[in-house]
Amino acid sequence: MKKSLDCVVIGYNEIPFQRYESFLKNYGADSEAYRDLRFSFVDLGGQKLDYLGLLNHVTELASPARPDQSAAQQFKSGDIPNLAAIYLTNYLRKRGCHAEYINLYQYEQEKLIDYLKQEPLCIAITTTFYVVNQPVNEMVEFIRTHNSKVKIVVGGPLISNHARNPHSEGFRSALDDMGADIYVIEGQGELTLLQIVESLRDGADLSLVPNIVYFENGEMRRTKVLAENNSLDENYVDWLSFPEMELGKTLQTRTARSCAFKCSFCNYPTRAGALTLTSLDVLEKELDSMVELGNVENVVFIDDTFNVPFPRFKDICRMMIRKRYPFKWFSYFRCSNSDEEAIDLMAESGCQGVFLGIESGSPTILSNMNKAATIEKYTAGIEMLRQRRIMTFGSFIIGFPGETESTVQETIDFIQATKPDYYRAQMWYCEPGTQYQISGEGFVWSHATMDSLEAMDHIDRLFLTTNESIWLPQWSFDFWTIPYLLGRGISLSRFKDFMMFADRMLRLEIASVSDRQKSSTQVEQLQKIVELVKDWGPVRYSVADRSSAEAA
């Protein structure tokens, strides 16, 4: 007899871009939030397409009658196994719970309905990538429509951000807006989720479960705080334990929790606690399980600082070389913690690309950020990576306290001089509690040397004057889309060609050229992309496609 379903974990819900664009535009077309989004889409005669939408559009134009390019074959954001959902499901299963997971909510709703019919004890919603409630609200409403009795649990960074609101009324209002039943407030949270499941299964009192907020008779109740310290070694993901899923050719994992550094613009180490590491032998077991799946071509290490501690990083590379793993790998990387031997080991072990959180080309701003890195280290590191054909993506922040027109120019000069393959600059997002004297927060702020609108003006200037590197947008794309597209059969050279044409189209948007000039140039660039895509041949199926087919 099949065991009753305890928990369904939902990985990611990306609101359709047209709806999200309309949502942000309500704040004003000249607002900082909307201007930031403008760097992620092109407008084709009123049809607003993010970069994956543009790729799908030109693919359809290139082969309109080809059956393997149907709607089910489209490229999808987040269409690799969501690590948070996989990890939580794995954690619950190891402790005797019947847990299932949904990877992409938008494409697996029929599968979710089938699970809801099995009367699970709870649905757990992760919020790793959300900064607003909207994706959660949509899922809660859908779940209530198909099962009004199931308990809905929400946890992750979105809830932690709301919990830091100094006004209790604001926190209560945010939770009321979501409409879930139980909220987890813990930097890790997997043990808390297990205790919630066990409490619901046993009919126990939720007040005994630490680290949660729930509602009883209209009253908001918050339980005691009890910090978790879950072992990464005990809870590593055995990828062979998911035989029911087609996991695809690109997988994510992590070898550490938290970050060894304390940059002033980031509160992740505070939320995540002390740096915790997976042992090398356990990491080897996990990578072995990936290889045994038989089709994994790309692995993404999501550690905030994969090459810290530095000796351990070299040992990981040596282990991958010894094992002769067939996959390529991608990670975050700190040039300040590197040398030629390390980069040689990276290349030999299969490193294909790295995310460089450079943040600024100005020594002054790096010092203000407590970045523990130098321009000279970044410059040397990018050159060594280039020599070994390891792709680089540089991420930059504009507007941090102390930023001026001259420090922005230093960043522009740095990008032009070092020429990372891809780059992106975003406005500093001001979180509550910063040590600097700031007026405002979030996307709207001002400090002694700059305000948020001026920062956005500088980003426009930076983008329009940078010619040696290619802009990589954030919405629906980001650096981690590259290994996903490799897994779908698009080579790095073909990806670069597509991005060059897309970059030219985006420049028309940001430069605000006349509609007549924009239209004629867009048509020309669009046709070039279509001709490019015609040579690509058929792409592979996605994870969501197979999941949807299995549910049907």
State the DSSP string of 154-184: E-SHHHHHHHT-S-HHHHHHHHHHH--SEEE
Taking the CA atoms of 17, 18, 23 and 27 in sequence, report the sign of the dihedral they define.
Answer: positive
Question: Domain residues for 367?
Answer: 250-487
Instruction: Give residue 183's pLDDT band: very low, low, confident or very high (50, 70, 90).
Output: very high
- The neighbour count for residue 395, using CB atoms within 10 Å, is 20
Same-domain check for residues 212 and 299: no
- Look at residue 38 and tell me if it is in a domain: no
What type of residue is 514?
Answer: S
**Chain Cα centroid distance, residue 478:** 7
Task: Give the residue with greater pLDDT, 146 vs 129.
Answer: 146
Closest CA to 75 of 486, 472, 354, 355: 486
Cβ–Cβ < 8 Å for 136, 178:
yes
- Look at residue 136 and tell me if it is in a domain: yes
Closest CA to 124 of 45, 69, 200: 200
Same-domain check for residues 466 and 499: no
pLDDT greater than 70 at residue 35: yes
In total, how many domains does the chain have?
Answer: 3
Across 42-56, 316-330, 436-450, which has the greatest mean pLDDT? Answer: 316-330
- Look at residue 552 and tell me if it is in a domain: no
Q: How many Å apart are CA 373 and CA 336, to the nearest integer?
A: 5
Same-domain check for residues 178 and 112: yes
Same-domain check for residues 496 and 479: no
Closest CA to 414 of 468, 481, 492, 334: 468
- Look at residue 72 and tell me if it is in a domain: no
Same-domain check for residues 109 and 148: yes
Average pLDDT over residues 430-452: 84
Q: What mean pLDDT value characterizes the chain?
A: 90
Q: What are phi and psi of 120, to 5 degrees?
A: -65, 160
Average pLDDT over residues 112-138: 95
Cβ–Cβ < 8 Å for 154, 128:
no
Closest CA to 251 of 296, 283, 217: 296
Average pLDDT over residues 122-146: 95
Mapped to the 3 state alphabet, what secondary structure does 181-202 carry? CEEECCCCCHHHHHHHHHHHHH
Same-domain check for residues 332 and 195: no
- Look at residue 379 and tell me if it is in a domain: yes
Same-domain check for residues 126 and 153: yes
- Cα torsion 472, 474, 480, 481 to 10°: value is -80
Instruction: Give residue 215's pLDDT band: very low, low, confident or very high (50, 70, 90).
Output: very high
Closest CA to 394 of 385, 382, 405: 382
Same-domain check for residues 477 and 501: no
pTM score of the predicted model = 0.92
Same-domain check for residues 474 and 335: yes
Instruction: Give residue 545's pLDDT band: very low, low, confident or very high (50, 70, 90).
Output: low
Cβ–Cβ < 8 Å for 7, 143:
no
Q: Are strands 219-222 and 212-216 parallel, antiparallel or unpaired?
A: antiparallel
Which pLDDT value is given to residue 403? 97
Q: How many Å apart are CA 515 and CA 284, to the nearest integer?
A: 55
Same-domain check for residues 470 and 509: no
At 49, which helix (H) or strand (E)?
strand 47-50
Q: How many Å apart are CA 120 and CA 196, to the nearest integer?
A: 13
- The neighbour count for residue 205, using CB atoms within 10 Å, is 9
Which pLDDT value is given to residue 552? 44
Same-domain check for residues 166 and 302: no
Average pLDDT over residues 262-287: 75
Instruction: Give residue 1's pLDDT band: very low, low, confident or very high (50, 70, 90).
Output: very low
Here the tokens at position 89 are 């499901």
What type of residue is 333?
Answer: F
Q: What is the DSSP letter of 80?
A: S
Residues with Cβ within 8 Å of 514's Cβ and at least 6 positions away in sequence, in order, are none
Cβ–Cβ < 8 Å for 337, 310:
yes
Q: How many Å apart are CA 190 and CA 167, to the nearest integer?
A: 27
Here the tokens at position 504 are 């030219």
Closest CA to 352 of 323, 385, 330: 330
Q: What are phi and psi of 360, to 5 degrees?
A: -160, 150
Q: What is the DSSP letter of 539?
A: P
Q: How many Å apart are CA 196 and CA 183, to the nearest integer?
A: 10
Cross-strand bridge partners of residue 124: 9, 153
pLDDT greater than 70 at residue 43: yes
- From first CA to last CA, the distance across the chain in angstroms is 23
Q: Using DSSP, how many helices (H) and how many strands (E) does the chain show?
A: 21, 20
Q: In this structure, what CATH number is given to the domain that contains residue 309?
A: 3.80.30.20
Out of 85-89, 167-171, 432-436, 454-458, least confident range:
432-436
Q: In this structure, what CATH number is given to the domain that contains residue 116?
A: 3.40.50.280
Cβ–Cβ < 8 Å for 476, 53:
yes
Q: How much of the chain, in percent, has pLDDT values that exceed 70?
A: 91
Q: How many Å apart are CA 155 and CA 90, to the nearest integer?
A: 17
- Look at residue 69 and tell me if it is in a domain: no
Same-domain check for residues 387 and 515: no
- Look at residue 209 and tell me if it is in a domain: yes
Q: How many Å apart are CA 82 and CA 72, to the nearest integer?
A: 19
- Look at residue 168 and tell me if it is in a domain: yes
Average pLDDT over residues 509-513: 87
Which pLDDT value is given to residue 442? 85
